[in-house]
């Protein structure tokens, strides 16, 4: 039975499914099979650029840490580059995909399925590039009498469709007619990752905004997007379990979680500023017209007074 058929059977049995549960099922299947990341796959990340990998290797040197924990490490390209420059460092990866974990092992990393398999205790850089945007989101809408929420239901012909239902537990009420995408697991994920930076650093790179901008009334349709074969579209009900689903990151929630976990915040800067401070000048990853301003870098620390380039 296909994932789409499994989800249809679940909805027929249990009723409409909250969107984050649907998204979680789709992404578990998608990443579980080991997605093809790169020019021929569904998406690429900045890691494909040698200059970006070199910059992160320099970051590892600058921190002086004994261990790197990379979240959502993809094909292991970054691990290979860092270990080539800093062979003394202990490199761990955390990835839900068994297929990708094998590639990370081939690159010289020690792969793990969850963060629970690792413990604090040695100077550590916890690093994540484009991992937070893949956390499942609730789709909260502003209705005439309060918050509504997008659930996944079935049309008469069996196709998936949106269904709006009351959301008394919504984290906030959007403007009427507005949809906001909110990742309920974001803060717990960040707190769990921050636990390992004791002592050490937490560095996260992704696309997003602070809450005031991300959920502004002028942003009517949320930030959820689907990616397949490098094409972005808005049909999350197509290619069930066979396409990437992402949403912009709420950096205010990241900040709240990191500081609640006991980290000292260093700030939020553009990827361009961050990489330039590391000596990277490749236009693809630092230019504001390309990836330099599309991505932001969040950093925090604990148990050290050492600063980070760009902050």
Distance CA 52, CA 269 (A): 16
**Separation between Cα atoms, residue 151 and residue 145, nearest integer Å:** 18
Per-residue pLDDT of the chain in tens (311 residues, 90 and over written 9): 899 999 999 999 999 999 999 999 999 998 887 665 555 555 568 999 999 999 999 999 999 999 999 999 999 999 999 999 999 999 999 998 888 999 999 999 999 999 999 999 999 999 999 999 999 999 999 999 999 999 999 999 999 999 999 999 999 999 999 999 999 999 999 999 999 999 999 999 999 999 999 999 999 999 999 998 768 889 999 999 999 999 999 999 999 999 999 999 999 999 999 999 999 998 889 888 777 689 999 999 999 999 999 99
Report whether CATH 3.40.50.12710 matches the domain 47-133+188-207+248-311: yes
**Beta strands, E only, 158-238:** 160-166, 179-182, 200-206, 208-209, 225-228, 231-233
The model's pLDDT over 287-310, given as tens digits with 9 standing for 90+, comes to 887 776 899 999 999 999 999 999
- CB atoms under 10 Å from CB of 1, counted, come to 7
Pinpoint the alpha helices (H) of 18-136.
Answer: 19-32, 50-63, 77-85, 98-106
**pTM for the model:** 0.94
The tokens for 289 are 């017209």
Q: Which of 281, 291, 244 is nearest to 36 (CA)?
A: 244
Q: Which residue has the tokens 């909260």?
A: 140
Instruction: Determine how many CB atoms are found less than 10 A away from the CB of residue 20.
Output: 21
Nearest to 129 by CA among 252, 242, 294, 288: 294
Helices (H) and strands (E) in the chain, counts: 10, 17
Residue 296 contacts residue 274 (beta carbons within 8 Å): no
pLDDT in tens, 50-80: 999 999 999 999 999 999 999 999 999 999 9
231: CB partners within 8 A, 6+ apart: none
- The full set of domain ranges for the chain reads 1-32+138-182+219-247, 47-133+188-207+248-311
């Amino acid at each position: 039975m296909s994932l789409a058929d499994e989800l249809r059977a679940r909805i027929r049995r249990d009723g409409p499914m909250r969107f984050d549960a649907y998204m979680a099922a789709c992404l578990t299947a998608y990443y579980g099979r080991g997605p093809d990341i790169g020019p021929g796959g569904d998406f690429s990340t900045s890691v494909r650029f040698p200059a970006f990998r070199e910059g992160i290797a320099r970051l590892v040197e600058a921190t002086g840490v004994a261990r790197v924990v990379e979240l959502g490490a993809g094909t292991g390209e970054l691990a290979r580059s860092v270990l080539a420059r800093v062979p003394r460092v202990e490199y761990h990866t955390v990835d839900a995909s068994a297929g990708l974990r094998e590639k990370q092992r081939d690159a010289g990393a020690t792969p793990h399925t969850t963060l629970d398999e690792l413990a604090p205790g040695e100077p550590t850089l916890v690093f994540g590039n484009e991992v937070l945007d893949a956390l499942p989101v609730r789709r909260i809408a502003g209705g005439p009498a309060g918050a509504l929420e997008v659930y996944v239901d079935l049309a008469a012909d069996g196709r998936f469709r949106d269904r709006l239902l009351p959301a008394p537990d919504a984290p906030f009420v959007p403007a009427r007619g507005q949809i906001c995408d909110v990742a309920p697991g974001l803060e717990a994920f960040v707190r769990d990752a921050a636990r390992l930076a004791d002592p050490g650093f937490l560095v996260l790179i992704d696309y997003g905004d602070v809450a005031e901008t991300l959920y502004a009334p002028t942003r009517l349709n949320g930030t959820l997007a689907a990616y397949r074969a490098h094409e972005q579209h808005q049909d999350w009900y197509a290619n069930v379990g066979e396409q990437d689903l992402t949403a912009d990151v709420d950096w205010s929630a990241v900040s709240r979680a990191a500081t609640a976990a006991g980290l000292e915040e260093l700030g939020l800067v553009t990827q361009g500023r961050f990489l330039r401070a590391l000596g990277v000048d490749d236009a693809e990853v630092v230019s504001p017209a390309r990836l330099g301003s599309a991505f932001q870098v969040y950093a925090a620390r604990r148990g050290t007074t050492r600063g980070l380039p760009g902050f």
